[in-house]
Structure 1
Amino acid sequence: MNQLTELNLLPIAEAQFPSDWQSGELLDFLELQRGVDLPVQNRRDGNVPIFGSNGLLGFHDASVSEGPGVITGRSGTIGKVFYLEGKYWPLNTSLYVKDFKGNLPKFIYYKLDAIGLERFSTGTGVPTLNRNVAHKERVAFPPISEQQKIVAILTAVDGKLDVIARQIAATQYLRQGLMQALFSRGVGTQDGSGQWVPHAEFKDGELGEIPASWAAAKLNSHVNKVGSGVTPKGGSDSYLSYGIPLIRSQNVLVGRLSLDDVVFISPEQHKKMRNSALSPNDVLLNITGASIGRCAVLPADFDTGNVNQHVCIIRTEASLNPHFLCQYLNSEMGQKQVGRFQAGGNREGLNYQQIRSFDVPLPPVPEQHEIAKVLGCLDEKVEVLTSKQSHYQTLKRGLMQKLLTGEWRVSLDASATET
């Protein structure tokens, strides 16, 4: 991020805060005030946002404050801080900054976010933010000129994060629409030059309307393995810091594996669990708990490993592309296959017989590959954007830690360039 590295951030000598910063209690720099109750039946159509502890809850035609506003949760959800420019109505489940005492509102927004207001909660049932305790927190504030520079830097990073978030949302929206179309209309057939020609004929069946050249099959007819593993004897005490990876449900995300917190077992344990040994391109499906239905495919270069009892291995035959199957199972249509065995929302788990009975569309293999390829490209784009988002989130946290404490100083003759 070259623009931000050009902001002339200056380190200071080891000290609690810079000598030209003012220190005192939080109340010396701002005053928090409890919001005002507004029952639903008293709310009228308008464009004034209503904020509660979780954020925006609706709109009204009158305001408590003209803005800019800094709001946080008072009861229930505590710790989130919200900023807005215009007038607003804070509910009594929130606290708002009644008096900024000459400080920049947006600097106070970042400062409160960095302080971590959840530390000042009281009560064991429904946590409540005690503003009187928060007001006594010792803090230090820079001069207004430095507040402006710090706000410019952090706002630039927020702007970048907003752009990335919109790109992720747009890509996911496109992907969702394509999934609906691809699993019902397909991509077509290839002509002599290799171009895809859309399907012209369709038929109705168990899966709704699909191309006439497709089959609607039971999963059982196109797999040669459906099974899962076990937790090794000794439970977590059997886990090692290196060895053979044991894939658990938390490692199987929607369309991808996360191996950051993978655990390992010994080669001897791996041999005992040979029925749950993994092979490249295995489809992994979570079959219990809150993550039931999440599906991913093992990479083609995967070496060896096992799954525990919460993850099912689906090993497909040549007639069913594993990436196509995974995309289908993660789609709305595929999740309906999972949901029909989870009546009442009890999410008790899937058994092998139920999984084998899944209805799946079966295009010709080349078309399966093309559908998986199209959706896979969008998955890769989301993954790149998500990684980029994580980078900027980490950057922002680091900048907040350094800039809001005075550990890094901003040269006042430097201008914050846009990212």
Structure 2
Amino acid sequence: MGETKFITAEIGVLPEGWKLIDIKSIADRNQEHSFIDGDWIEAKYIENNGIRLIQTGNIGIGHFIEKETKKYISEKTFHELNCKEVKPGDILICRLAAPIGRACIAPDLGTKAITAVDVVILKVNQNEYSREYINYYLNFEKTLQRMESFASGSTRQRISRTNLGNVLIAIPPLTEQRKIAAILSSVDEAIAKTEAIIEQTEKVKKGLMQQLLTKGIGHTKFKKTEIGEIPDSWNLVKLADVFEIVKRPVEMRDEEEYQLVTVKRRYGGVVPRERLKGKQIKVKSQFYLKHGDFLISKRQIVHGACEVVPKELEGSIVSNEYHTLLVKNGIDIDFIRWYVRLPMMQNYFLLSSVGVHIEKMLFKIEDWFKRIIALPPLEEQKQIANTLSSIEQSILKNQKYLEQLQTIKKALMQVLLTGKVRVKVDNEVMSQ
């Protein structure tokens, strides 16, 4: 890293040797449609296949979400309307939606594509500018904020192509642009690989859940039951034989502090809410929780709002809007934690709830307790739970790593795209 000298500029201070360029001046004037809006395509021209129509919703920050491209036009329409074709390497910039100005580099889609009117096509003059650097700078938080400040509209905020073209960005020498882009790209590659690992591991977990929770481990003999085929050594039991309701009433004291918790939808876990003094808690009917309790939200269980209370939240409290359950002897709570995620159990939660609207249904635990599940021997319960938990821990580890990478990228963008940290540009560094 080299010593940095700064000069005053319209958008702040810039390193010596950097310059301010408006977006429209980055366009390659030797190419047709180098900085232009996409096409206005009426609904009557939309078809199910043909030439892709890229809309604002298809564009994520830095990358193109190809799988969400669902609208097309015909070759005939393309020529009749004199549409502008997107080429690989074009930068596509959104003029509306959140955030305004988000951009991506178009990949090779293997077919023709055009953009809707609210997606600007920018063809970068690569003799002077690195399109990868430009793309990173367009998606830089400060750039997006400036673009939003230029937006207008009574119902939907959008930035005009003229105002977009006048937005200034800071440009270092070309070799430095390329080096900055290379550094950020390396982090993006690590992010993409980690995301792919998480996605694949999630698929493995889903497949194993269905296999282990219904067929068990290493079984060759099965029997038919009212809930389907299960291993011969498994038993059918009612949920009333698995759980018992427990209540630990809180004697509320005005000056004592209490940790309130809730349970998130989609099996998202028991999480802390606010911490309040007794006199601040309006609902006085509260109950203590212990580590290992199974907590169910009476009004959100149709959305998968149930989970085991973690050790760090022992002693927290919930209102009578929740059911607190304990598993009986011979039942492994970790196995049950996974078992409730089966589609059959999700259906049980729905069938045992009453109400006229999915968001206003109330869980009837007495009905739920009558439902039948398949239960393996205790030792197999533990083996199944341990296998699935190890996969979950792998996912959580990679998710934490992903968050670290995203934090690193944000920090790097902050220092590299402002020149607060300068990069050396030589053959040795570039090869690294």
The two structures have a TM-score, normalised by structure 1, of 0.79
> 1:345, CA displacement in angstroms?
6.2
CA distance in 2, matches of 1:350, 1:73: 43
- SS at structure 2 position matched to 1:281: coil
Query: For residue 190 of structure 2, what is the aligned residue in structure 1?
Result: 160
CA deviations over 1:355-379 (Å, ceiling 9, x no partner):
4345433222222111111111111
8 Å contact from structure 1 (residues 18, 406) kept in 2: yes
Alignment of 1:81-160 (within 5 A): 81-86=103-108, 89-102=113-126, 103-114=129-140, 115-116=143-144, 117-160=147-190
> Which consecutive residues of structure 2, in runs of 5 or more, have no partner in the other structure?
28-33, 59-65, 79-83
8 Å contact from structure 1 (residues 35, 94) kept in 2: yes
- Equivalent residue in structure 1 for 2:363, among 330, 340, 351: 351
Query: For residue 324 of structure 2, what is the aligned residue in structure 1?
Result: 313
Query: For residue 245 of structure 1, what is the aligned residue in structure 2?
Result: 259
> 1:131, CA displacement in angstroms?
2.8
Query: For residue 5 of structure 1, what is the aligned residue in structure 2?
Result: none
Alignment of 1:54-73 (within 5 A): 54-55=57-58, 56=66, 57-58=69-70, 64-73=85-94
> 1:43, CA displacement in angstroms?
4.7
- The structure-2 alpha-carbon separation of the partners of 1:290 and 1:222, relative to structure 1 and needing over 3 Å to count, comes to closer
8 Å contact from structure 1 (residues 53, 77) kept in 2: no
Letter matched to residue 115 of structure 2: L
Query: For residue 190 of structure 1, what is the aligned residue in structure 2?
Result: none
CA distance in 2, matches of 1:100, 1:337: 57
8 Å contact from structure 2 (residues 285, 320) kept in 1: no
- SS at structure 2 position matched to 1:224: strand
> 1:178, CA displacement in angstroms?
0.6
- Equivalent residue in structure 1 for 2:16, among 16, 19, 40: 19
> 1:289, CA displacement in angstroms?
5.1
- The structure-2 alpha-carbon separation of the partners of 1:375 and 1:123, relative to structure 1 and needing over 3 Å to count, comes to same
- The structure-2 alpha-carbon separation of the partners of 1:395 and 1:216, relative to structure 1 and needing over 3 Å to count, comes to same
- Equivalent residue in structure 2 for 1:220, among 240, 256, 269: 240
> 1:172, CA displacement in angstroms?
0.4
8 Å contact from structure 1 (residues 228, 310) kept in 2: no
Query: For residue 327 of structure 1, what is the aligned residue in structure 2?
Result: 338
8 Å contact from structure 2 (residues 262, 271) kept in 1: no
8 Å contact from structure 2 (residues 4, 15) kept in 1: no
> 1:290, CA displacement in angstroms?
9.7
Q: Does 1:280 align with 2:306?
A: no
Moved more, 280-289 or 379-388: 280-289
CA deviations over 1:21-76 (Å, ceiling 9, x no partner):
11143333347532124558555756x65421111314777771223022233344
- Equivalent residue in structure 2 for 1:298, among 309, 315, 321: 309
- The structure-2 alpha-carbon separation of the partners of 1:44 and 1:254, relative to structure 1 and needing over 3 Å to count, comes to closer
- The structure-2 alpha-carbon separation of the partners of 1:21 and 1:135, relative to structure 1 and needing over 3 Å to count, comes to same
Alignment of 1:185-200 (within 5 A): 185-187=215-217, 197-200=218-221
- The structure-2 alpha-carbon separation of the partners of 1:111 and 1:181, relative to structure 1 and needing over 3 Å to count, comes to same
- SS at structure 1 position matched to 2:359: coil
Q: Does 1:368 align with 2:376?
A: no
> 1:156, CA displacement in angstroms?
0.3
- SS at structure 1 position matched to 2:259: strand
Aligned length: 389
> 1:132, CA displacement in angstroms?
2.5
> 1:331, CA displacement in angstroms?
3.3
- The structure-2 alpha-carbon separation of the partners of 1:312 and 1:90, relative to structure 1 and needing over 3 Å to count, comes to farther
Letter matched to residue 258 of structure 2: I
- SS at structure 2 position matched to 1:125: coil
CA deviations over 1:174-230 (Å, ceiling 9, x no partner):
00001111121012xxxxxxxxx424122221x322223323333233212167999
CA distance in 1, matches of 2:354, 2:103: 38
8 Å contact from structure 2 (residues 248, 289) kept in 1: no
CA distance in 2, matches of 1:415, 1:156: 13
Letter matched to residue 360 of structure 1: I
- The structure-2 alpha-carbon separation of the partners of 1:363 and 1:398, relative to structure 1 and needing over 3 Å to count, comes to same
Letter matched to residue 94 of structure 2: G
8 Å contact from structure 1 (residues 67, 86) kept in 2: yes
> 1:100, CA displacement in angstroms?
2.0
8 Å contact from structure 2 (residues 263, 295) kept in 1: no
The sequence identity of aligned pairs, in percent, is 21
- SS at structure 1 position matched to 2:236: strand
- The structure-2 alpha-carbon separation of the partners of 1:303 and 1:85, relative to structure 1 and needing over 3 Å to count, comes to closer
- SS at structure 2 position matched to 1:284: strand
- The structure-2 alpha-carbon separation of the partners of 1:269 and 1:67, relative to structure 1 and needing over 3 Å to count, comes to closer
- The structure-2 alpha-carbon separation of the partners of 1:22 and 1:74, relative to structure 1 and needing over 3 Å to count, comes to same
Letter matched to residue 216 of structure 1: L
Q: What root-mean-square deviation, in Å, do the aligned CA atoms of Structure 1 and Structure 2 show?
A: 3.6
Query: For residue 31 of structure 2, what is the aligned residue in structure 1?
Result: none
CA distance in 2, matches of 1:308, 1:12: 60
